[in-house]
Amino acid sequence: MDLMHSQLASIQRHLAFVAVEPIDWKTYVQAFSWVVCLFESYLLLRQYPLYSKPAPPAALAAHFTDEVFTKSQAYGRDKAKFSLFAGLYKQTIDSLLLHYGVYPWAWAVGGRAIGKFGYGPEYEIVQSIAFVFVLFFVSSLPTIPLSVYSTFVLEEKHGFNKITPGLFVADLLKGWAIGSVIAPPFIAAFLYVFKWAGDRFVPWLMAFLLAFQLIMVVIYPTLIQPLFNKLSPLAEGELRTRIEALASKLRFPLTHLYEIDGSKRSSHSNAYFYGLPWSKHIVIFDTLIKESRPDEVEAVLAHELGHWYYLHPTKLLLVSQVHLFAILALFPAFLHAPQVLRAFDFPADVSAQPPTIVAFLLFQMIISPLEAIVGIGMNAVSRRFEFQADRFACELQHMLKAEEMADMGDRLGRALVTLHVKNLSTVWVDWLYSAYHHSHPTLTERLRALEGFRSASASAAKKEL
């Protein structure tokens, strides 16, 4: 512990300039966020012409009718145009908020609001909660038209939207209501850890955030998700029997097997699992069940169980803890830095004793270019995991000595193609665009890899004989 604290202290000495040098952080944040935004626009411009290609790649040609291919290209084109506009629009809003000093304004509004209830500026945690609420509404209201357009124009046009305007508004209000219940105690506890642990906050805050994530794993599916979707036990039948048999062969601690009415909102489909190490739940979208045969859905689950078998969620959690540690290790330099707040137009009296929440928010803006790079790395890791889970499905026949699973790779391939076709997912992908945005390999890459896994596992079987 002491070694860690001395290391952290040495980082702070290197960053001591933050507290004293009058750096123009605001201009720097503006410049970098525009660079990131323009880079993302450039990626879209690289990707865009691919939506005009007249035919799918050879490897996929057999799976796409002309009609489906044309539809998927048109959907991709519309989505790309929308993303380009939405990206520039959001960046413009963020840039204006920064330019016109909305952050110091929100802090002052929060202060006046709590003043009405008799709380003065000495109640920093209360004011912080008010500040977050003001800021949330100011920054999220302008993006509502984007979701309206995306849902009711874009998705509607391509036949995916199932949401009625009533459901849209209800979802939005429910989301806000849940946020208002969870955010205040979370912010209060988060800030309290800082006050209580002082400069030794790093391990305590990490423990707090990890505990919060674990609580959410339990609370989300039982208390929050039922407010939006209906989870019902998967009906008895071939699919249920297959999945239960697969889970028990792999000793996957399956507690509940659900079907979710994902089709209530959208026709996009999927499957996933969640839960604590000793009790897991599998959720399958009704759309997936409708569109694929039971043995193909089983193959999708075999892939999902591959993620579990190789501890992918745990590994990602560990990576995110390391990431969090790195962020928190840099933070103290910005925590006691009046110069940083001054650079973002906060008045002298607020800047003199920087409120933790404000310092944290500004700090996050300052390191956001680093976060873009971390995102590319995380995507690369996630894509590796996807290949690994696909390979797992192909190797099950040997692992479980189950002849009937010999075609698992074919079934998975068919299910992936069906999902891809039904979702009208993009067929041609620019490599740089994909490296930056995609957490999953493209369909072409996955089918090619499945081919390889299958022949590898077939020759392994011959050797065994």
* DSSP H or E run through 256: strand 254-260
Q: How far is the CB of 307 from Zn ion (least distance, A)?
A: 6
Q: How far apart are CA 312 and CA 214, in angstroms?
A: 16
Decide: residue 76, CB within 10 A, 0-12 exposed, 13-18 middle, 19+ buried: buried
- With respect to Zn ion, which residue has the nearer C-beta, 126 or 389? 389
- Find the angle CA(42)-CA(47)-CA(52) to the nearest 5 degrees: 135
The least CB distance from residue 58 to Zn ion, in Å, is: 25
Across the beta sheet with 254-260, the strand order is 231-233, 254-260, 279-285, 271-276
Least separation, in Å, of the C-beta of 389 and Zn ion? 5
CB of 449 to Zn ion, least distance (A): 13
90, two tokens:
């959001």
Question: Phi and psi of 247, rounded to 5°?
Answer: -60, -40
396: nearest Cα among 380, 385, 410: 410
Is 386 known as a binding-site position? yes
Alpha carbons within 13 angstroms on the beta-carbon side of residue 273 total 28
Q: Which is nearer to Zn ion, 61 or 380 (CB)?
A: 380
**Closest approach of Zn ion to the CB of residue 304, in Å:** 6
Distance CA 86, CA 108 (A): 30
307 assigned ligand-binding residue: yes
Q: Among residue numbers 372 through 391, which ones bind Zn ion (CB under 5 A)?
A: 386, 389
Burial 433-451 (b: 16+ CB within 10 A, else e): bbeebbebbbbbbbbebbe
Give least dist CB 83 to Zn ion, A: 23
CA distance 428 to 50: 6
Question: Which of the residues 383 through 442 are near Zn ion (CB under 5 A)?
Answer: 386, 389
Q: Build a one-symbol-per-residue string for 439-458: x at contacts with Zn ion by CB under 5 A, - elsewhere.
A: --------------------
Residues that bind Zn ion (rule: CB under 5 A) add up to a total of 2
Catalytic center residues: 304, 390
- Which of 266/388 has CB closer to Zn ion? 388
Packing angle, helices 25-47 and 368-399, rounded to 10:
40
Q: Environment class of residue 207 by beta-carbon count within 10 Å: exposed (0-12), middle (13-18) or buried (19+)? A: exposed
Residues 241 and 150: their CA atoms lie apart, in Å, by: 39
CB of 425 to Zn ion, least distance (A): 14
Q: How many Å apart are CA 342 and CA 104, to the nearest integer?
A: 10
CB 35 within 8 A of CB 21: no
Q: Which amino acid is at 392?
A: F
**Which one, 242 or 391, has the nearer CB to Zn ion?**
391
Among all chains, which residue has been given the structure tokens 């995609």? 438
Q: Which is nearer to Zn ion, 299 or 389 (CB)?
A: 389
| C-beta closer to Zn ion: residue 336 or 440 | 440
Between 386 and 395, CB nearer to Zn ion: 386
Minimum distance, C-beta of residue 97 to Zn ion, in the bound complex (Å): 36
Whether the CB-CB separation of 309 and 392 falls below 8 Å is answered with yes
Classified as helix, coil or strand, 363 is helix
Q: Are strands 254-260 and 231-233 parallel, antiparallel or unpaired?
A: antiparallel
Cα 182 from Cα 176, distance rounded (Å): 10
CB nearer Zn ion, residue 386 or residue 430: 386
Binding residues for Zn(2+): 303, 307, 386
Binding residues: 303, 307, 386
Which stretches of the chain bind Zn ion, using CB under 5 A? 386, 389
